[in-house]
Structure 1
Amino acid sequence: MLGVEDPRVTEVDGKFFVGYTAYGTDGHREYATTPMFATSENLITWNRLGPLVRGEDNKDHFLLPTKPEGRCVAFHRRPPSIWLAESDDLVHWPEEHMRAILSPRPDNWWDTKRVGGNGPPVATEHGWLTLYHGYDEDRIHRIGVCLLDIENPAIVIN
């Protein structure tokens, strides 16, 4: 690992969790990114929990501030889409508990090539307010907003 970037902190049940991107070489690729998590009770001392996934470029990850049905929910970018993942322990992220929830839109939109999450969603009376970014063929990055179902954040309302 050469370094880290893109920290995104979420408080869940009185503890702090940071999603950060580790980058470096992995023996096959010159520049590889790995989504990692760590936890803290005081924002000073951190304990690494490990990766969300291995062996693929993946970043823009963070946690939902609550645990629907007792499970931890993470959002991450498996290009070109935003994915939702669920875990019982923040260490094991089974592939069968991952699914794409927001993908690039068809031609003539600002987010036709890739989308990624910006940070933890905010609960509102209408759902989880979620900021995301994307770009088009010209690689012009823009910011957007979507609303996720408050009970089932895998459902994009608008």
Structure 2
Amino acid sequence: MSFAIDRLVFTPDDVDLSRSPLAGRIDAETYVLGAFNPGMTRLANGNLLMMVRVAEALRDPVRDGHIHAIRWNDGEYVIDAWPLDRVDTTDPRTFTVRGGGWKVLGLTSLSWLLPVEMSPDGLSVIAAHYDRAIAPRTSYQCYGVEDARISRVGTRWLMTACSVSPERHATVLYTSDDALDWRLEGIVLDHQNKDMLVFEGLIDGKYWAQTRPLGDLYFAYPPDSEWRAGPSINLATSPDALHWKPYDRPGIRPHAATPATARMGGGAPPILTPDGWLCLWHGVEPSGAVGIYRTYWSLLDRDDPSITLATGHAPLLEPAPALTAPLAHRMYLEDVVFTTGIADSGDHYVVASGEADLACRITHVPKAALAG
């Protein structure tokens, strides 16, 4: 679909690295690889807040026969060196360490979160709150904090994010009373899961969340099944948003009939509408090293979100090369739109996405486009 208002609103050029949490703390030049995948919520003053993932990378990572990477270590930032003959650098975002017997990755950047206050329509930057940036602060975050998702439940804001380290690849929870000052509550999902989204409201007194656990093994559906085995969107419930139990019934699963959603995961936190829970999620079509990421939507039953009432089988958002054309000199990835936030704005929704793992994209989606 195409929409009248659909543009990039925050790019790597908008990040002031002199105010980065890493500034003056490592002896190497860095640059912004990407400013993308913004969690989003509406503040009490009516403005929108984007929690932008800033991927900060070394300007010259390869030198002296090694590839170098940034790591947080006990309150400091250090640079590790890996011999080039031990790594594979096919994916520009990561490098694979050979010889481990299983897949072991290093990162070409370290990510931290920058709160960026936007106008109520999401189109103009009001302020970037560097004094409230969220950076690694514990060993399970030593390779960065990634891909925030923000939900308001009652009077409290809940933010999930992915923490990356050799210890684990886990989901952590932050809480806030104003969506500006955040408290780290710790790990809530202790397994590889990049897409935990808390529903914006309770169901029968419980918190609900979409999750997307990953693994190297999936069991096949019957040959005539309408579903395809692989990563899917699951559900979990909690009495307090800290302790989560997987829901017995499956959530949204990939359809066998289309390769466009062969891999899938959550996008924006589900919001309650008069017709049920609206959720935006991503489907990935296998292509090249990364795949083609698109955004789809589903409407879930308000009392049992394992029941899908309606789904848009055509993509709601697709990668938009025209938007990133002015940033062609910075491009390192194509064919990716990754939706991470949604806010109600009357007759339309303000939808926040990461475009090409590079910049923040805002789209105004008329509510009529999401009718079941």
SS of structure 1 residue aligned to 2:304: coil
SS of structure 2 residue aligned to 1:34: strand
Residue 124 of structure 1: CA displacement? 2.0
Measure the CA separation in 2 of the matches of 1:72 and 1:39.
14
AA paired with 2:309?
I
TM-score in terms of structure 2 length? 0.38
1:16 maps to what in 2?
157
Q: Structure 1 residue aligned with 2:270, among 116, 121, 124?
A: 121
2:179 is the alignment partner of 1:43: yes
2:256 maps to what in 1?
106
Residue 76 of structure 1: CA displacement? 1.5
AA paired with 1:33?
H
1:70 maps to what in 2?
205
SS of structure 1 residue aligned to 2:204: helix
Off by >4 Å, runs of 4+ in structure 1: none
2:285 is the alignment partner of 1:136: yes
2:234 maps to what in 1?
83
- Consecutive unaligned residues of structure 1, counting only runs of 5 or more, are 27-31
Measure the CA separation in 2 of the matches of 1:92 and 1:86.
8
Residue 52 of structure 1: CA displacement? 2.8
Q: 1:100 to 1:59 in 2, by over 3 A?
A: farther
TM-score in terms of structure 1 length? 0.86
Alignment check: 8 A CA contact 1:49 1:90 kept: no
Alignment check: 8 A CA contact 2:280 2:295 kept: yes
Measure the CA separation in 1 of the matches of 2:207 and 2:149.
15
AA paired with 2:272?
A
Measure the CA separation in 1 of the matches of 2:274 and 2:180.
33
Q: Once structures 1 and 2 are overlaid, which stretch shifts more, 142-151 or 40-49?
A: 40-49
AA paired with 2:273?
T
Alignment check: 8 A CA contact 1:86 1:98 kept: no
Residue 107 of structure 1: CA displacement? 4.3
Residue 130 of structure 1: CA displacement? 0.9
1:29 maps to what in 2?
none
Measure the CA separation in 2 of the matches of 1:62 and 1:123.
14
- Consecutive unaligned residues of structure 2, counting only runs of 5 or more, are 1-140, 215-230, 311-372
2:174 is the alignment partner of 1:33: no
Residue 98 of structure 1: CA displacement? 5.7
Residue 86 of structure 1: CA displacement? 0.3
Alignment check: 8 A CA contact 2:174 2:184 kept: yes
Percent identical pairs in the alignment equals 31
Measure the CA separation in 1 of the matches of 2:253 and 2:188.
20
Residue 37 of structure 1: CA displacement? 0.9
Residue 99 of structure 1: CA displacement? 4.7
SS of structure 2 residue aligned to 1:110: helix
AA paired with 1:153?
P
Residue 70 of structure 1: CA displacement? 0.6
- Once the two structures are superposed, residues 26-70 of structure 1 have per-residue CA deviations (whole angstroms, 9 ceiling, x without a partner) of 1xxxxx52111111102233222232321x311111211111111
Instruction: Between the two structures, name the one with larger relative contact order (CA 8 Å, sep ≥ 6).
Output: 2
- What is the aligned length? 150
Could you say which structure has the higher helix fraction?
A: 2
Alignment check: 8 A CA contact 1:83 1:98 kept: no
